[in-house]
Amino acid sequence: MTAPGNCTPAFDRAAAEGRAVFIGYLPVGYPTVPGSLDALRALVDPGDGPGADIVEIGIPYSDPMMDGVTIQRAATRALERGVRVRDVLAATETVAAAGATPCVMSYWNLIEQYGCDAFARDFRNAGGAGVITPDLTPDESDEWLPATDAHGVDRIYLVAPSSTDDRIRLTADAARGWLYATAVMGVTGARETTSDAGRVLTERIRTLSPDTRVGIGLGVSNGAQAAEIGGYADAVIVGSALVRTLLEADDAGRPDDLTALRALTVDLARGVRAAR
């Protein structure tokens, strides 16, 4: 079983309301650092209903292994426009001040370069709850485990449909807060239809590690898909579809226009509430 952590209250609140948690992803630094902070605020409070419960803040990286084309485009532009790893701390403070639970998604190299213990300390001091590390496994976490324990940071690891039963048990036991389950094999990206692999994987996790909170990610692009996944998962994770609204506004010469982001956020939040 995954131990309770800083993210657990968000899951408990959603469960009490009979719905799944809505986790929205946006990268810090895109379209600019100040612009990304405005976008994060809009994701939490879209102005026409509830927004994301947990915000997954991505740190742009030059060599991503999990990101699809949409997120790569935004990350590349953010890097070209000068974003730095330390900007994630201001983003974390922004999300916390807006009333949502801040998590960070970071490739391990960035945390290692910052300093493992220092990153956990500074992130937690900024109000951060948990860190998602897509390229770090529990058996490679010799430095990360004591750092996150010392500073009280949730460790959120990934499992996939290809994970063995032993790997799922090991990963769930090492995690804290919740477990990130990828519903499809491959990189991120909005898809026209959702895969049944998410349901199958969620059932496997619950059999192997009862009471572990499971978030399903990769491929969700609208409220109807969020409702479908929210019918069986504890959390619905949406990234590329949200980032695409920012790219389209940027391409149209209106990088500060968050109208589409707000509308999609409302649609997704209503979707998780219509699921059960």
Task: Kindly name the residue from 67, 154, 228, 234 that is annotated as catalytic.
Answer: 67
CA distance 102 to 94: 9
Following CA atoms 86, 91, 92, 94 in sequence, which dihedral angle do they give, to the nearest 10 degrees?
A: 140
Backbone angles phi, psi at 253, to 5 degrees: 80, 15
CA distance 109 to 113: 6
DSSP H or E segment with residue 100: none
Task: Kindly name the residue from 56, 154, 228, 250 that is annotated as catalytic.
Answer: 56
**Helix and strand counts by DSSP (H, E) for the chain:** 12, 9
Tell me the DSSP string of 194-232. Answer: --THHHHHHHHHHHHSTT--EEEESS--SHHHHHHHHTT
CA distance 173 to 57: 24
CA distance 103 to 116: 16
> Taking the CB of residue 83, how many other CB atoms lie within 10 A of it?
22
165 is catalytic: no
**Identity of the amino acid at 117:** D
CA distance 157 to 103: 12
211 is catalytic: no
How far is CA 204 from its chain centroid? 21
Strands 154-156 and 130-132: what pairing? parallel
CA distance 74 to 61: 10
Catalytic residue annotation: 56, 67
